[in-house]
């Protein structure tokens, strides 16, 4: 039982080390973090429903997961193909495309969930009514 717990703790250490690596080395991860923070603050201000929070959290997680997987793909491709190779480029480009798709979906989801209540709050300020 002690070995099981120790190995689980070691797994968490590895995961957090990977998380820290992405945050340290990937500029896009910082952009995702900034936008996620803004979305979370807006969600609190707009008093989102539990279902909307669930979708927002899943969406933020989807973008970060795509970024983390893309970073892993890039590292493995760099290890396997230190010189330029057309297939290495394909692997990296497809990984980047996955992040782009996740980010675009997140923007659409954000607009659908945050747009209407945000408009209700700011429209009177803009129109003066």
Report the candidate in 72, 54, 62 with the shortest Cα–Cα distance to residue 99: 62
pLDDT classification of 8: cutoffs 50, 70, 90: very high
pLDDT classification of 125: cutoffs 50, 70, 90: confident
**Residue 124: its pLDDT value, please?**
87
Each domain of the chain, given as residue ranges in start order, spans 27-127
**Residue 37: its pLDDT value, please?**
97
**Residue 1: its pLDDT value, please?**
85
CATH class, domain 27-127, is mainly alpha
pTM equals: 0.88
Residue 2 has pLDDT above 90, yes or no: no
pLDDT in tens, 102-113: 999 999 999 999
Catalytically annotated residue among 36, 48, 67, 103:
67
Residue 67 falls in the annotated catalytic set: yes
Q: What average pLDDT does the segment 33-61 reach? A: 97
Give the 3-state secondary structure of 56-122. Answer: HHHHHHHHHHHHHHHHHHHHHHHHHCCCCCHHHHHHHHHHHHHHHHHHHHHHHHHHHHHHHHHHHHH
Supply 59's token pair.
């969406």
């Amino acid at each position: 039982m002690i070995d099981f717990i120790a190995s689980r703790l070691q797994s968490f250490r590895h995961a957090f080390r990977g998380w820290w690596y992405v945050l340290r080395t990937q500029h896009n991860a910082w952009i995702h973090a900034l936008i996620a923070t803004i979305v979370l603050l807006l969600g609190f201000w707009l008093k989102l429903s539990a279902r909307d929070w669930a979708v927002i959290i899943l969406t933020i997680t989807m973008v970060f997961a795509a970024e983390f997987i893309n970073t892993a793909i890039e590292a493995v491709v760099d290890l396997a193909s230190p010189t330029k190779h057309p297939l290495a480029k394909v692997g990296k480009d497809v990984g980047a495309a996955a992040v782009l798709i996740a980010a675009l979906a997140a923007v659409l989801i954000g607009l659908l969930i945050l747009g209407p209540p945000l408009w209700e709050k700011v429209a009177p300020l803009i129109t003066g009514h």
